[in-house]
């Protein structure tokens, strides 16, 4: 019950933040959006009316709330298109990349953490742990540029930008290019070549976005395993001759899933927001992060407030889903109401 209340309270505050974004902007937001055209009283009046800023504040909030709940997110000032139509394909691009990064980070980070735990205090473990610390400290933006310089410009192994090669004109059946490239006429026309082109375009963004989550998941996995291995029941199992593999799958794995899943959820949020904004900007990935940056630069306030609302709600939903997964994996985490 408390979780549900907190969820809706958080939704309400995100809603308020997105609403007041234009209203509390320094200076006159209409003049900021219009620029030199703001000197024209007619254009100024039209913009005020289109944004609903000519009404009292309570009436603006009422209209904004009604529009959000009816799916009317308004139109972009820059493109003139519906924000919903602009947002949906970009969300799919971000979600496709983010989901792969999450799975990749969880798997690689988990395996690395297991290796470090079972080789604790060895020379290899110390070298790997030190190297991970160095890599962890590299800023995402700088890492992305470094990867582009080495693997794109110098060795020409991976493309610099985009989701698929320019020679492919994919029909967006779902908006998820890895699926679309293997569907219908896309597959008939291009076979597997479009699919591999999509994968090729993902390699550098995935590496850039995965570094921080991999290191963090590896560290929490290592610490969790070492903590479990010191428990009395593990020592008893070893003294009874139980094999290391059986101890791991029967006792260790179950006990480390909850902390690893919890930390993974935190870095999924990082991937979705901060990491995505930087990475999508560097690699010109047409996702929500890049959409937000271009909207800020062009002062497209209606788009900015909807994107912030969308990202905030998405993060809360992801948190809620992951909390439910934790409770399923570990019944002890369930709260009796």
CA dist., res. 16 & res. 26, Å (int) = 17
Phi and psi, residue 116, nearest 5° = -65, -40
The confidence score (pLDDT) of residue 336 equals 42
CA dist., res. 112 & res. 273, Å (int) = 25
The confidence score (pLDDT) of residue 329 equals 67
The confidence score (pLDDT) of residue 33 equals 72
Which of 300-320 are b and which e, b meaning 16 or more Cβ less than 10 Å from the residue's Cβ? bbbbbbbbbbbbbebbbebbe
Stronger pLDDT, 41 or 287, i.e. the higher one: 287
% residues pLDDT > 70 (the chain): 93
pLDDT category at 234 given cuts 50, 70, 90 is confident
Whole-structure pTM value: 0.85
Average pLDDT over residues 70-84: 86
The distance between the two most distant Cα atoms of the chain, rounded to a whole number of Å, is: 86
The confidence score (pLDDT) of residue 216 equals 87
Stronger pLDDT, 90 or 23, i.e. the higher one: 90
Using one digit for the tens of pLDDT, what is the confidence trace for 191-227? 999 999 999 999 999 999 998 889 988 998 999 899 8
Count of CB atoms situated within 10 Å of the CB of 163: 23
pLDDT mean across residues, the chain:
86
Which of 207-242 are b and which e, b meaning 16 or more Cβ less than 10 Å from the residue's Cβ? bbbbbbbbbbbbbbbbebbeebbeeeebeebeeeee
Structural domains in the chain, sorted by start: 18-69 (no CATH), 84-333 (1.10.3720.10)
Using one digit for the tens of pLDDT, what is the confidence trace for 37-52? 767 788 888 888 877 7
pLDDT of 248 above 80: yes
Phi and psi, residue 75, nearest 5° = -125, 150
DSSP symbol at 151: I
Average pLDDT over residues 236-252: 83
- Are 34 and 47 in contact, with CB atoms under 8 Å apart? yes
Our separate counts of H helices and E strands in the chain read 16, 0
């Amino acid at each position: 019950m408390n979780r549900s209340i907190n969820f809706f309270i958080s939704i309400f505050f995100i809603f308020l933040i997105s609403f007041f974004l234009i209203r509390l902007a320094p200076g006159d937001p209409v003049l900021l959006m219009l620029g030199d055209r703001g000197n024209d009283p007619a254009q100024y009046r039209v913009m005020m009316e289109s944004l609903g800023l000519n009404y009292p504040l309570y009436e603006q909030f009422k209209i904004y709330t009604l529009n959000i709940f009816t799916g009317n997110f308004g139109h972009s000032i820059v493109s003139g298109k519906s924000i919903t139509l602009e947002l949906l394909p970009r969300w799919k691009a971000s979600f496709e990349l983010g989901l792969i990064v999450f799975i990749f980070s969880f798997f690689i980070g988990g395996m690395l953490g297991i290796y470090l735990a079972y080789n604790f205090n060895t020379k290899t473990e110390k070298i790997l742990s030190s190297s991970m610390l160095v890599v962890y400290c590299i800023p995402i933006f700088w890492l992305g540029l470094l990867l582009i310089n080495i693997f794109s410009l110098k060795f020409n192994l991976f493309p610099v930008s985009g989701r698929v090669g320019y020679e492919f004109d994919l029909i967006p059946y779902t908006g998820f290019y890895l699926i679309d490239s293997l569907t219908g006429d896309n597959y008939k026309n291009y076979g597997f070549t479009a699919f591999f082109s999509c994968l090729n375009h993902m390699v550098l963004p995935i590496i850039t976005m995965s570094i921080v989550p991999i290191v963090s998941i590896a560290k929490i996995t290592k610490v969790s395993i070492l903590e479990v291995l010191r428990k009395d029941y593990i020592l008893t199992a070893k003294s009874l001759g139980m094999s290391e593999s059986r101890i791991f799958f029967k006792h260790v794995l179950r006990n480390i899933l909850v902390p690893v899943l919890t930390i993974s959820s935190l870095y999924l949020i990082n991937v979705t927001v901060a990491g995505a904004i930087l990475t999508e900007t560097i690699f010109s990935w047409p996702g929500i992060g890049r959409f937000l940056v271009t909207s800020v630069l062009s002062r497209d306030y209606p788009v900015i407030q909807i994107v912030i609302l969308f990202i905030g709600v998405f993060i809360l939903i992801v948190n809620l889903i992951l909390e439910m997964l934790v409770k399923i994996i570990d019944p002890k985490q369930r709260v009796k109401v």
